[in-house]
Every structure is written in C-alpha cells, then in structure tokens.
Structure 1
Amino acid sequence: MALKTPSAAQLALLRHVRPADLRAAVQLATEATTGVIGIAEGVHQSVRRRIGLPAGALPDRTSGLTGQVYRGIRGVTQLVGHGLDGALASLLPLVDEPGLHPAPSPGREAVIAALNGVLGDRLQASANPLAQPMELRYQGERLPLGRGPPLHERLASATPHLLVLLHGLCMNDTQWQRAGHDHGAWLAQALGCTPVYLRYNSGLHTSVNGREFARQLEALTAQWPVPLQSITLLGHSMGGLVARAACYEAQGAGLRWPGLLRHLVFLGTPHHGAPLERAGHGVDVLLAASPFTAPFTRLGQLRSAGITDLRHGHVREADWHGRDRFGSAADHREPLPLPEGVACFTAAGTLAPQRGLLAERLTGDGLVPLRSALGQHDDPRRRLVFARDSQRTFYRTGHLELLSSMAVAEQVLQWLAPAPPPVDA
C-alpha cells in the first residue's frame, strides 16, 4: 500500500516529532513505571523489616500477600507495555514512511542527544528507537561506510588532511556550531583540512564508544578518496576521552589509521574526572545509609554508564569491567599515558579572571576542574605529560565557551599549522 506524501503542515511537525517516538515513549514509560513500583516495594519492605517481617525472593521485595500484589502490578505493567509495543511495531510501518521524513530540527536532535547522554545505555539495551547509533558525518549528513555509494561522491573535495571532531556528553555533532562559530569549518578554511564529525551515544561506556569509533575510522580511512597524509582528532569534553579510548583500542587491534595520526587536541577534557559525577556518587552513598531511603538510590542510578565513567575519567574497559559502577568511589584506573609519536595538546578553561595558585587549583570551567583538563594528578604515574607549549589555560572561559572562543580556535590553529620552512642563511 502506497503512503500519501505528507502535507506541508505534517512535514513541519515531522521535523520535531516522529511517529516512532510514540513507541519509544511507551517503552520508556513502561520502564519508568516498573522502576517506581520497585522503589515503592523497597520502601514497603524496609518498614516490614523493622517490625520483623521476612523479605521476599530478594532483600528489597516483599513476601506473602503484599508480595503477590506487587508482582501482580508489575506483571500487568509489563503485559500492557509489551502489548502496546507489539501493536505499534505492527502498525507504524503501515502509516509511516521514514524515507519521506524531512531533516530533523536542531531542537529535536539536541533533545535526543541529551536523552542518550543520560539514559543511552538503557535505550540501547532495550532497542529503543531513540537510541543514537554512531555515525561519521560530513556537511550534516551521515557518511555511508561499507556498502553503499562510494565516498568519492560525498567527499569530492576531500584533502589529504582529515580532521575528526568528537563532541561531549549529552551533545551531538551539530553543536560544534555555537555563537556563529564552528571550529571544524574555521580550521578547514585556515588549514585546508577536511572536517568530519562524529556523532555517538554518549550514555555508553567511553571504552565502548572508543572501540566502535576506532573501527569506523579504519573504514573511513580505507575509503578516503585521496591518499591520506595526516589525521587530527579534536575532542571536546568526553570526546577527548573517546579519542584516547579509540587510540588505545586501535593499537591493540593492529589497525592502520594510528600510523597516520599526527595530532590529538583536547578541549576541556576531564582526563581525571569531573566533580559533578563524584557528587552524584556521594548522593548514592547518603541515600544508601538509611534503610528507608536506600530504595531511592535507584533514581540516582538511572544515570548512564557514560556519566559514571566521568567520575575518574575512564578510558579503557579494564577501568570499569567487573566492578559495580555505583559502588566504590576509589579510582581503579591503571595509568594510561598519551599515545606515543602523536603531538598532543590540551586547552583548559577556567572561570577565574586571572592567574593565581588558589584560583587555578580550585576553579575550573564550571564542569571540569582545571587540573583534570590539563592532565595533572597528585600521583606522578597518572599524570599526562603535555609539553609546556602544548597546553594553555583560557581565563573567564566556561566549558561550552571553549567551543565558540576565537582565542581557542587561533591557539588550535597555531598548534596544527605546519612549521614554516627554515630560512636560508
């Protein structure tokens, strides 16, 4: 059955809301309702335990008639949720044609990016339609890697210098454009490089994103239309950790693109973590201190694996694998130095108005501490060694302002520009 072409009004609406969003919302509502039921039963069982009544199959589950009631409510919720999901899965292909959808609005893409940053691991695990797949993008469109039209058609003006830009937590590739400025487009004009932007689900573990990015970058470089001479990775915030993870994964897998990597630039990257996630862990600990508030720790534990990786700046799978990410606050990372043979640079922002020992130690860019962005650490083994002229602090500059600051752009250009030829004596 052929579907009617959407009207102008429908096309305008489809830029913001898609029919598949209804199925995604049903899945999220079912999970949320089940979670609230679990919290309510946990509080109920805490009270029962205080008066000596036994628990159910699990410590936070009730037993007897009370437990049966909760199991019944939970079962009905799941039954209704699965029924609606199944019905929508069958109905949507009959009433919707994704190929007719207009380009999504920036507002829609920003909301989806934020949702993935907070719940991205859950969205992917439940196959929710809002889960963001990883894509390499050029001029606002996905680059078809593997099967499909050759990249020569999409990258007719490709140059031998590939610049890949990696966004931060809860963001996407379109948000490199800020206050009328885009570091990628600006550097392309100044250096003659070709900017490609990574879009990824920032709610997944950094190491998971790093592994997939390493694989996709290998495919991209193999299909690049002209012989590549150099690759530059420019990462903002979490994007810098994903870049480091990709370098580590690529070296372990014997991929070829690290041999072309010449520059690695970090903008406000929390190499040793960010205090907001540590504060989140502190709230978990406080809630868990009382049996009556312990069930509410589930609310804090909704935050994604990507967010908890920011507690200490996890890069490798070994940093988190086999451990409860909501458990110990200790830093279990093994030292991981910057990749050898690559020129590495870091730009750190601080809200402090001027240089000063106390300000530089305590004040960061509003999200990332200054010392973390500069790779500094009290443990010498964990320090990331940047040359003196390969690091710079930008005063009166917030975390997002690192994306729009012309001073930052000019510094990155200075770092990346080829050295002038020697003057003959």
Structure 2
Amino acid sequence: MTLSRPTSTQLALLRHLRPTDLRAAVQLATEATTGVIGIAEGVHQSVRERIGLPAGRLPDRAGGLTGQIYQGIRGVTGFVGHGLDGALATLLPLVDEPALHPAPSPAREAVIAALNGVLGDRLQASGNPLTQAMELRYQGERLPLDRAPQLRECLGGATPHLLVLVHGLCMNDAQWHRGGHDHGAWLASRLGCTPVYLRYNSGLHISVNGRELARQLEALAAQWPVPLQTITLLGHSMGGLVARAACFEAQVAGLRWPARLRHLVFLGTPHHGAPLERTGHGIDVLLAASPFSAPFGRLGQLRSAGITDLRHGHVREADWQGRDRFRSADDHREPLPLPEGVACFTAAGTLAPQRSVLAERLLGDGLVPLRSALGQHDDPRRRLVFARDSQRTFYRTGHLDLLSSQTVAEQMVQWLAPVPPPADD
C-alpha cells in the first residue's frame, strides 16, 4: 500500500495530533468509564449495606441481581474497549506513516508531559501510546545512545564538561526555555559546558526514573566524543530528586560516571516533600471516613506514583516499596545524605519580599516550602547539609520563576565556575 504525502493542512494538524492519539484516547476513555462504574457501584453497595443487603465477592461490589447488572455493564465496556483497541492497532499502521510526521508542536509536547505527570504510571502499565519514554536530548533531538557513530555525530562540538538538566513534574525539556531564558544555554555560554536535557515520564516513581537515568548516563559518558572531565547535574523541582536517585542507583550498581560528577545543583527541589501532595492525602483520608464518600476516593487515587512520592520526597525504592502509597501518611524514609565528594548547591525561592521567621516557616515558592528546598528538617538525621555559601534564598521568586531568573543564573555561574589557580609569588 502506497501512502500519499500529507497536505499542508494535514501536516499542520499532525503537529498537534497523531493518528495513534485516537487509540490512546480510546484506552483512556475505557479506563475512565470502568472507573466511574466502580464508583457508582461502590456508592450503591454502601446504601445496600445500610439496609442489610449482602455484598458481592469484594467489599465494594454489590451482590445479587444488582451486582450482576454492574458486572454486565463492566464486561460490555471492557469488550467494546478491547475491540476498538484491537481494531485500531490493526488499522492505524495502514493509514499512518510516522516517517512523514512533522515535528510536534510545543503545545502537544506540553500536554503529553502534563498527562504523563498525572497518569504516567497508568499510561505505562496499559501500554498507552502517549507514554513518554526517557530520552537524553541535545539541541532539541533525542540522542541515539544505542548507535555510537550517530551519537558522536550528533554531539559534534561537545566539550569536556557535560551539563545534564532534569525537569520537574508535568514538564519536559523544552520548558527550561522560559521568558526568553534557558539556564542550559546561559551556562554553556559562560562556562563552556555542553547542555544535554532529560525528558522523562514524571508520573513514574522517582526511584524508577533515577535508575533509568543512571543507566543512560553511563551509556552517554562511555561514548562522549571527547575525554569527559566534568559532569554537572542540574535539577528543577522533582528533577532534583531524580538526580539524587540517579546518584544513589549508580553507586549501588557500581557505575563509572559518578567518578566524573563534580556538581549537583537543585532549584526549588522538595527534598522533604511538598504540602500539596500532603493535602491530597488528607482528602483521601476525609473521603474514606464515610461509607458514602469512600468510593469517590478512587478519583484522588488516580494521581501518579511520581506525585505521591512528593509527599515526603521519596528517592529510593525502599522509601515506598511494600506500602500502600495512598494510606501511609508517615515518613518512612531512611536518611540519605548528599553524595560524598560532590559539590552540592541549592537555590530556594520564596514569595516573601524579605527575610522573616514567619515567612521562612509559612511561605515558600508557591509549591515547595523554603525549609524543604534548603534541605532543612527537624530530625537532624534527615537534614541535608549544604555549605553556607552553597545555598541561597531568592525572595519574590515563585517556583517557575527559578527557571527564568537572571539572578539565579548568575548565582549558578558563580557556583560552577572553575576555581582559578593561585597566583605565583
């Protein structure tokens, strides 16, 4: 079958939408419908229990004829969803040619990043086409880590200093460019480093992304086209936790790239968690308090593993493994200090206009508390120890403003600039 080249109108549409998006939408719609059916049945069964009618095989499932009706509806939904998914999987390759797709629009990329941040673990588990795979990117293109000749060609002009930028929750690599400024380009022009940007599914567990980042950095460092002397990791928000997870996973696996890691920079990183996720957990608890509202708790439990990791700042697999992430409110983390032998810096934003005890306790950058971003904790074992001149608070600066602040950029240049050798007498 010969495919005709898309028209200009079709190309414009393909920048925002792909034919495979139809299959992705069908999968999401099927899951959403099944979820709504489950909520309705849960409420129905709560009422039945109040009048003494038995439950079905599961506590939140209705029994008797009512349960059979719900089971039938659920079965039809699954049958139709799987049928459509199978048909689309067969037909789409016949009418779609990925090689003819234009570069995706920034709007499409941003929507996919946000969707992965909220539902990324579910997207991956269901094989949804919208799942974002982890990529290291240079000058807007994915680096082919599995093809050494092409990788070296892509990295023409690389310097001995590798800068890896790791974005935050619901974001992607393109969003380092904000307000006409890009920290990667700025640092490259001032320090001569080569900026490589990570793109990843921020809805997965932070430890999972950290392990994969550690593996990809090992492959990149081994094939760097010039002798690699320095690696700097720069993480914004969740990205700082992913960077810490990568350092930990690399140490456990005995990888080589950490030997070249010289700097670790955090911008608004919730080292000890963020209050928005704790609020989400509080809503889960409130909904569970009543048998009539408990089924609606499933809506809150749609949020991804990446989001729930932000409740306390989970970095390692042991922080969450074996626990119900929607029920455990306690902080189970084992203390994990900053990596030894690495110069670590942290930049914290606050909406407060000036320093004050109240502002430092109550105000942060709008998403991350000031103390969390600075690594401070009431438990001395959990504190992250940054040197006095390796931490700075930026006033009147919101969470996303840390990405576009010229003052933040200049501070990073001061932190990362090579120390000049002592002058001869």
Q: Same fold (TM over 0.5)?
A: yes
2:93 maps to 1:93: yes
Letter paired with 2:84? L
2:24 maps to 1:24: yes
Q: Deviation string for 1:345-371 (max 9, x for gaps)?
A: 000000000011111111000000000
Letter paired with 1:383? R
Partner of 2:298: 298
Which range moved further: 141-150 or 233-242? 141-150
Partner of 1:130: 130
Report the TM-score when normalising by structure 1: 0.99
SS of the equivalent of 1:306 reads helix
Partner of 2:204: 204
- Aligned-residue sequence identity (percent) comes to 86
The 5 Å alignment of 1:370-381 reads 370-381=370-381
The 5 Å alignment of 1:15-414 reads 15-147=15-147, 149-414=149-414
Report the TM-score when normalising by structure 2: 0.99
Letter paired with 2:246? A
Q: Say whether the 8 Å CA contact 2:351–2:397 is kept in structure 1.
A: yes
CA distance in 1, matches of 2:423, 2:31: 67
Letter paired with 2:303? R
CA distance in 1, matches of 2:151, 2:104: 23
CA distance in 1, matches of 2:2, 2:353: 62
SS of the equivalent of 2:394 reads strand
In the TM superposition, residue 148 of structure 1 has moved relative to its aligned partner by 6.2
Letter paired with 2:406? M
SS of the equivalent of 1:15 reads helix
CA distance in 2, matches of 1:399, 1:150: 37
Structure 1: 5+ residue stretches without partners: none
Partner of 2:419: 419
CA distance in 2, matches of 1:357, 1:64: 61
Q: Deviation string for 1:256-298 (max 9, x for gaps)?
A: 0000000000000000000000000000000000000000000
In the TM superposition, residue 150 of structure 1 has moved relative to its aligned partner by 2.9
Letter paired with 2:264? L
Q: Say whether the 8 Å CA contact 2:148–2:223 is kept in structure 1.
A: no
Letter paired with 2:308? T
Q: Say whether the 8 Å CA contact 2:117–2:304 is kept in structure 1.
A: yes
Task: Provide the aligned C-alpha RMSD in A.
Answer: 0.6
CA distance in 2, matches of 1:66, 1:87: 32
Letter paired with 1:30? T
CA distance in 1, matches of 2:371, 2:170: 23
CA distance in 2, matches of 1:226, 1:71: 62
Number of equivalences: 425
In the TM superposition, residue 421 of structure 1 has moved relative to its aligned partner by 2.1
Q: Deviation string for 1:179-206 (max 9, x for gaps)?
A: 0000001100100000000000000000
Structure 2: 5+ residue stretches without partners: none
CA distance in 1, matches of 2:2, 2:392: 59
CA distance in 2, matches of 1:342, 1:99: 43
In the TM superposition, residue 151 of structure 1 has moved relative to its aligned partner by 1.7
Letter paired with 1:21? D
CA distance in 2, matches of 1:149, 1:283: 52
In the TM superposition, residue 423 of structure 1 has moved relative to its aligned partner by 2.2
SS of the equivalent of 1:150 reads helix
In the TM superposition, residue 149 of structure 1 has moved relative to its aligned partner by 4.1
Letter paired with 1:381? R
Q: Deviation string for 1:234-269 (max 9, x for gaps)?
A: 000000000000000000000000000000000000
SS of the equivalent of 2:219 reads helix
